[in-house]
Structure 1
Amino acid sequence: MEAAVAHSVAALGAVTGRDWTKVRAGRLEWDCRETAEHVAGDLIGYAAQLTGRGRHAYASFDFSLRADAGNDGALHVISAMGALLAAAVRTTPRSVRAFHPYPFRHANREGFAAMGVAEVLLHTHDMAEGLGIAYEPPDGLCEFVLTRIFPHVRPGPSPWPTLLWATGRGELPGREPVTAWRWYNNPVLRSERLDLEGVTPAVAASLSLAGDGGFTWAGGAPADGTRVGAGFGVTQYEEGAYRPEWGMYVLVRREDDLAVGAMGFHGAPDDGGRVEIGYDLVAEARGNGYATEALRTLSAWALGQDSVHAVTAVVEEDNVPSQKVVTRAGFTEVSRQEGRITYELRA
């Protein structure tokens, strides 16, 4: 957050002597002064959401720059608001989520950080375009945004042009122009004892490369199947086929915030309304009914979507514990082939 703000302030600081109220910010309807005020307001607003931890609505306050604050003053306020958001992100527990409407009505600290960085980068671009100055943020900041709140966007040849294209501000060879867009925070489902936290491309990349994905794992590390599944998620992201609600979910035990396994879909529903599910638990968490509980929750969510008529699971014939999990969750056997059993749960 601080790096994004510092880079923005350095670029815009060169033109504070101009009248920003007389210059439109790129393609926006706002002038550059209004855009600067908007950025500062979003940063303090996101900080308020995290620290206030409101679950159902935005914090009820308005923000505005004082009339006597010049352009230098506006940049100073942006720096201060960025520092407040950064402090809120650093001090908010990992499991906390607060209200944001897109698309699942909540976001965690990484989501708010990514949204804050996106506001700074994109609106600095808008102002720079209007003021006629060059601006290009570091690739790392753009990747941070793309891999957390733009999981549906296939990576392009370079992160900054990709982010501009994804937000209707630029073109990419071979891709249609974007005329409407939203960013996407990751989904979270709740069962009796677990939070099922949707995995972002950033988390999938970490898990696939022997990282922890930002979680503390029971037993110290995720199971091998979780790492394999995360690798599939990375591939889907690189191909532009990743959808957070139809990807992997990490199973987090609420009582101690420990990750006990992962469960997820192999992809979005097919044309017949069928979606396949898989799962894996760390050895230390097995035998407690977590897999069954999570499977019931995730399957019920899937069958509640108009596009899904059946959830399937494929289990090896010699994997008796996994067979018990799916049958306890209400699945029934539909076929056996080459040492594997296919189970199905229908709406």
Structure 2
Amino acid sequence: MADTGGDMVQQAVTSAVAVLGTVTDRDWRGVDAGRTAWSCRRTAEHVASCLLAYAGQLAGRAQDAYVPFEITLGGDGEDGLGPVGNDGVLHVLETTGALLTAAIRTTPREVRAFHPYPFRSAGREGFAAMGVAEVLLHTHDIAEGLGLAYEPPAGLCAYVLGTIFPHVQPAADPWRTLLWATGRGDLPGRAPVADWRWCNNLVIPAARLTLEGVTPRAAADLATGGDGGFDWVGGGPFEGTREAAGMTAKAYESGVHRPEFGLFVLVRHEDGRAIGGMGFHGAPGEDARAEIGYDLTEPARGHGYATEALRALADRALDREDVRSLFATVEKGNVSSQRVLERAGFVRVSEGGDEQFAYELRRP
């Protein structure tokens, strides 16, 4: 899966400027942007501020809060720029879009920077998708206020949904789905949305690696033979990871995907390369029990990575109120995998079938 985040931001900004550039002679200050409480001018400035802030988060590798700066447009008479017209606002929008595009393209895939919702960090794809969402949605608001027709490319909308709206079941029209998911429109068969948030992927730290939550977009790529945007060791991923990615993609399509109980790719700190997959077969049922599975690329086996990752994932899962136990099945002949489970604290509880053992780890 090629890195498309920077391209997506660039395409979104180009699309927005094309439509808004036709009405720069209109009064943007005296017209509200759609259903918002902001003027069209204030909304456009907000989009530019978001793009700059996201670029700053990535470039500055912010970890605990937003980098403390903001954008200010000229026009106070003391900066020599004079009043900034609507053309100038669009120029700023293009410039901040270019800055975010550059930050995305030059930031390593494994780098995370602070964003408050929901897991307090995002990677370059997350910041790209948030930037695209800001552009698309607020251009819609401005266009609505000014009486313009605006419909961005469907691929941009699908990119946003598949990256930061994993909890939203996709529909035939990605643009209408995105508008509905953000409280801006109706979708047949679905209740109106009042409160909404996007959802960046979850990452779980371990000593020598990070478990990176796989987005629905990346899962679909993995399931169909792609790399999911990861640099794999040893020709991976292996079949188990691809099957798990298919389960994630299917859950997303069915509207039942929960990111905390999806697939995670194991990424080594030392070189940023992926060495395997680990995750759940789905969310816990009424018995508060969840099934877990994993596989590693062959060169990564025998180094304790699976045990380390399994402990980190199990600890996080069992810290939740809706999980009381985890279980896993392993082939009787797979002694190394049995040892991984045992070292992580799992206990053999049954035969699990003619060719398998079943293991369980319960909350203390």
Say if 2:135 is the partner of 1:127. no
Aligned residue for 1:216, secondary structure, equals coil
Residue 45 of structure 1 is matched in structure 2 by 53
- What is the CA–CA distance in structure 2 between the aligned matches of 1:308 and 1:65, rounded to whole Å? 50
Query: Conserved in 1, the CA contact under 8 Å of 2:210 and 2:269?
Result: yes
Say if 2:358 is the partner of 1:342. yes
Offset at 1:61? 0.9
Residue 282 of structure 1 is matched in structure 2 by 297
Offset at 1:245? 1.3
Q: TM-score by structure 1 length?
A: 0.99
- What is the CA–CA distance in structure 1 between the aligned matches of 2:320 and 2:296, rounded to whole Å? 26
Aligned residue for 1:217, secondary structure, equals coil
CA deviation digits over 1:31-86, x for unaligned, max 9? Answer: 10000010000000000000000100001012232231101110110000000000
- What is the CA–CA distance in structure 1 between the aligned matches of 2:120 and 2:93, rounded to whole Å? 26
Aligned residue identity for 2:24: T
Aligned residue identity for 1:83: A
Residue 341 of structure 2 is matched in structure 1 by 326
Aligned residue for 1:20, secondary structure, equals coil
Aligned residue identity for 2:283: A
Residue 195 of structure 1 is matched in structure 2 by 210
CA deviation digits over 1:126-154, x for unaligned, max 9? Answer: 00001000000001111110110001100
Offset at 1:322? 1.1
The 10-residue stretch of structure 1 (333-342 or 273-282) with the greater mean CA deviation from structure 2 = 333-342
- What is the CA–CA distance in structure 2 between the aligned matches of 1:244 and 1:53, rounded to whole Å? 24
Residue 58 of structure 1 is matched in structure 2 by 66
CA deviation digits over 1:12-44, x for unaligned, max 9? Answer: 111111110111000101010000010000000
Aligned residue for 2:360, secondary structure, equals strand
- What is the CA–CA distance in structure 1 between the aligned matches of 2:307 and 2:280, rounded to whole Å? 15
Match of 2:267 among 248, 252, 275: 252
Offset at 1:318? 2.2
Say if 2:159 is the partner of 1:170. no
Aligned residue identity for 1:199: V
Say if 2:115 is the partner of 1:100. yes
Matches within 5 A, 1:1-347: 1-67=9-75, 68-339=83-354, 340-347=356-363
Offset at 1:306? 1.2
Aligned residue identity for 1:190: P
CA deviation digits over 1:263-309, x for unaligned, max 9? Answer: 00111111121111000111111111111111111000100111111
| Alignment size in residue pairs | 347
Query: Conserved in 1, the CA contact under 8 Å of 2:233 and 2:274?
Result: yes
CA deviation digits over 1:100-138, x for unaligned, max 9? Answer: 001000000000000000000000000000100000000
Aligned residue for 1:184, secondary structure, equals coil
Offset at 1:206? 1.1
CA deviation digits over 1:149-174, x for unaligned, max 9? Answer: 00110001111000000000011100
The 10-residue stretch of structure 1 (261-270 or 311-320) with the greater mean CA deviation from structure 2 = 311-320
Aligned residue identity for 1:65: L
Structure 1 segments of 4+ aligned residues over 3 angstroms from their partners: none
- What is the CA–CA distance in structure 2 between the aligned matches of 1:317 and 1:12, rounded to whole Å? 64
The 10-residue stretch of structure 1 (151-160 or 310-319) with the greater mean CA deviation from structure 2 = 310-319
- What is the CA–CA distance in structure 2 between the aligned matches of 1:238 and 1:16, rounded to whole Å? 40
Query: Conserved in 1, the CA contact under 8 Å of 2:236 and 2:275?
Result: no
- What is the CA–CA distance in structure 2 between the aligned matches of 1:241 and 1:57, rounded to whole Å? 32
- What is the CA–CA distance in structure 2 between the aligned matches of 1:338 and 1:107, rounded to whole Å? 41
- What is the CA–CA distance in structure 2 between the aligned matches of 1:140 and 1:172, rounded to whole Å? 19
Structure 1: unaligned runs, 5 residues or longer: none
- What is the CA–CA distance in structure 2 between the aligned matches of 1:268 and 1:63, rounded to whole Å? 42
Offset at 1:317? 1.9
